[in-house]
Structure 1
Amino acid sequence: MKTMPVIQRNFFRLLRSGTFGRKDEPLEPMSEWKWDRLCQLALMHGVGALVADGIKAYSDDFFLRLSDRQKDNWHRITEETEERNKETDMCLAELFDTFNHAHLRPILLKGQGFASLYDRPGHRSGGDIDIYFPYKPQAEKADAWAIEHGTEKDESDRNMLKYFRHGIKIEHHKQMMYLTNTLLNRRLQKIIDSEIRCCDSAYRIINGTKIEIVPHTLSLLIIIVRMARYIMNEGISLKQLIDFGMFLRKEGDKVDFVKLQKWIGKLQLQHMALLEGALLVKLMKFDEDELPFINFKNDTDTTTITDDIFDMNGSHTVDWFFTQGKHVFVTTSNSNAMLWHIRHTAKFFKYYPAEIFTNFFASFARSLSRIEE
């Protein structure tokens, strides 16, 4: 942390305070321009309202010098995040009431389920509503309902149906999570199917509605796999890292860590889980004892991944796809993004070699599929 510029050091102090109530370091002085850059960084990572909570906690700090314009801006960011979460919670409750009444067994993935763990649930920036239907007949009925009652339907992805309801994007997932390595994915799907069918269900109450979520031990595995996939394709997501820490703090006592460790071994996730755990320890100041399923024998270098946190150029995988012009030649729409992805794959190869190799070619194939016939 000592090598980080002052903007980044203050950013993590405020973020730790706004999420985990940690206020053990004083702020350092910054100019108005640097405070604007910090705000930009918070918005880029979808943690604006959480950093605003940190600013409130540091309100008596001598070096917290914000202009009236900046104070108004942080207030606006918080209000907009709260309003969006209210709209999402209302839509979520309506959907689950409808699907539960029809006995379709919807299971909420990530998103608002994680938000309910936060001290201020409305301050976690929401996104889509992701729903998993474990049984095919019920999933087909849910899709039929969505096609009839939703707007802007998108069935182009064979693994999910996308649509909008009350301005909120909804995704019906056919798989809770997947890996591109065929053998590892088969193992993952077996774990998911077994846990969904044999284990006690878990629930949250959101907007007065009982919402089924992923069972606790499986949920932590899915968090680790999701973070791994995001790291391989985009770099670290601070929202996912905070969800990881929040889940451990609030739900860790309900997790079977022996079972989780066996799953991590079956999926060859040990090195990637170690990297994710090291990030939680170094950036969010967690104790290694809070992650009993990770072996912290070696001092894991997190520099390669924290560099991506502060990359504000945005030329990542999402910009890497191919198009066909007037001639027979196929070109990438963003060569910088393609080069970034190649370097990124090489950089993280050692953390998950069994998956990252197939992941790279799967990304390549997806980009080629976008060529017009």
Structure 2
Amino acid sequence: MNIIQRNFFTLLRSGAFGSKGHIEPMSAWKWNRLYQLSLMHGVTAIVYDGISNHDDDFFMQMPNWQLANWQRATEETELNNRRIDDVTVRLIEELDRGQMRPILLKGQSAATLYDNPLHRTPGNIDIFFPYTTQARKADEWAEKNGSAPTNPSRHIMQYTWNGIEIEHHHCMQQLTNKALNARLQAITEKEIRESKPAYITIYDTRVEVLPPTLSLLHALIRITRYILNEGICMKQLIDLGIYLRKAGDKVDFVKLQTWIKKLGMQNIARLISGIMVTLFGFEEDELQFASGKPDADINSIINEMFHITDNHADSWYFTQGKNIFVRTSDSNAMIWQIKHSAKYFRYYPSETVTNFFTTFAHSISHIEE
């Protein structure tokens, strides 16, 4: 790692997990690069927490205008979280009144475990409905009360309510391998049906979330899907680490390892575990979802995350011009996707192959009829 990356991880570990490191001196230009890096990975406010924790470090020096940028970005993150929390509570109350059993997923659910929940970069509001009748009823409610609702596709319905984008999930998450996906849906359905409901509190309102063991499984799948399609996302790794530190004692790791084996995820789980050890200093006994060390060059994989862009998966869609010939919108992106899939094949072969061809088929759908 270069000095920018080293300082980035020192501040990120401090902001997320409270560890204290040493800051290396950098120029204003390098501090600006670190700022851009934090924006790219959606962890700006967390890194700012690390900056605050290192206020007494001799080399924690940057121009006032740069520090003001961090403060403004953090204040904006806090404001957005307050808006989304407010809408989340109102939405959950509406859906609860209709007896639709909304289960909050991902973002605002994960944020409640942060030392400062307002510092997790927010997205939209994701709601899962475990039963078909409830999901249909919720979609009907969205069509009546939401703005610009979309027809459910890939088991997701999107709409806007009170200025915030909402997603209704009929299916929490999917794998592209049909056999593995059938196992995942069976695991999810059985665990929702048999486990005691779990709850968090937002503004004194009780909100249902996933049971702990199932929540951790889907966090690992989410990271896996992102690795296969985009690369490593820092915000998701922070979510995972905080969940393990704050709620790991509620997880049945024996059951989780059984699920991971059923889904053929042992190697990718070891890879994720290795990244957590290398980047954030986690101990192996904190990462009981994986056994053994990964057969991987962790440093080269980590280096890839510093080159992540937000358009790899979208920029190789196929388009058709005025003539009959079909071309990709970005041939370099397509080559990247091929190399990327080949790189991660050994970690999750059964999913990597079907994921590549599913993405390819989706890109073909962009061709004009």
> TM-score under structure 2 normalisation?
0.98
Counterpart of 1:267 in structure 2 is 263
- Are the aligned partners of 1:10 and 1:27 in contact in 2 as well (CA < 8 Å)? yes
Runs of 4+ in 1 over 4 A off after TM superposition: 312-315
Q: Which one of 125, 130, 148 corresponds to residue 129 of structure 1?
A: 125
Letter in 2 for 1:14: L
- Are the aligned partners of 2:100 and 2:135 in contact in 1 as well (CA < 8 Å)? yes
Matches of 1:113 and 1:297, distance apart in 2: 30
Q: Give the paired residue count.
A: 369
Matches of 1:39 and 1:267, distance apart in 2: 38
Matches of 1:123 and 1:230, distance apart in 2: 22
1:91-240 equivalences under 5 Å are: 91-155=87-151, 157-240=153-236
Letter in 2 for 1:188: L
Counterpart of 1:70 in structure 2 is 66
- Are the aligned partners of 1:227 and 1:237 in contact in 2 as well (CA < 8 Å)? yes
Distance 1:343 1:323, change over 3 A: same
Deviates more, 1:292-301 or 1:234-243: 292-301
Matches of 2:229 and 2:132, distance apart in 1: 29
Matches of 1:174 and 1:328, distance apart in 2: 38
Matches of 2:253 and 2:310, distance apart in 1: 36
- Are the aligned partners of 2:267 and 2:294 in contact in 1 as well (CA < 8 Å)? no
Any idea what SS the aligned residue of 1:338 has?
helix
Aligned-pair CA distance for 1:301? 2.1
Aligned-pair CA distance for 1:327? 1.3
Counterpart of 1:18 in structure 2 is 15
Aligned-pair CA distance for 1:207? 2.0
2:355 paired with 1:356:
no
Aligned-pair CA distance for 1:317? 1.1
Any idea what SS the aligned residue of 2:149 has?
strand
- Are the aligned partners of 1:93 and 1:208 in contact in 2 as well (CA < 8 Å)? no
5+ residue gaps, structure 1, are none
Distance 1:297 1:158, change over 3 A: closer
Superposed CA deviations along residues 3-35 of structure 1, whole A, max 9, x for unmatched, are x00000000000000000011x21101000000
Any idea what SS the aligned residue of 2:201 has?
strand
Superposed CA deviations along residues 314-335 of structure 1, whole A, max 9, x for unmatched, are 5511222111111111111111
Q: Percent identity, aligned pairs only?
A: 53
Letter in 2 for 1:130: D
Q: Which one of 28, 52, 56 corresponds to residue 52 of structure 2?
A: 56
**RMSD (CA atoms):** 1.2
Matches of 1:183 and 1:304, distance apart in 2: 31
Matches of 1:98 and 1:304, distance apart in 2: 48
Counterpart of 1:325 in structure 2 is 321
Any idea what SS the aligned residue of 2:86 has?
helix
Any idea what SS the aligned residue of 1:161 has?
strand
- Are the aligned partners of 2:270 and 2:293 in contact in 1 as well (CA < 8 Å)? no
Matches of 1:314 and 1:46, distance apart in 2: 11
Matches of 2:139 and 2:118, distance apart in 1: 28
Superposed CA deviations along residues 71-96 of structure 1, whole A, max 9, x for unmatched, are 11111011000000000001100110
- Are the aligned partners of 1:315 and 1:336 in contact in 2 as well (CA < 8 Å)? no
Distance 1:256 1:222, change over 3 A: same
Aligned-pair CA distance for 1:155? 2.2
Distance 1:107 1:18, change over 3 A: same
Matches of 2:342 and 2:61, distance apart in 1: 42
> TM-score under structure 1 normalisation?
0.97
Q: Which one of 319, 340, 351 corresponds to residue 336 of structure 2?
A: 340
Any idea what SS the aligned residue of 2:89 has?
helix
Matches of 1:355 and 1:110, distance apart in 2: 22
- Are the aligned partners of 2:230 and 2:308 in contact in 1 as well (CA < 8 Å)? no
5+ residue gaps, structure 2, are none
- Are the aligned partners of 2:113 and 2:242 in contact in 1 as well (CA < 8 Å)? yes
Any idea what SS the aligned residue of 1:236 has?
coil
Matches of 2:148 and 2:203, distance apart in 1: 25
Superposed CA deviations along residues 122-146 of structure 1, whole A, max 9, x for unmatched, are 0000101111101111111111111
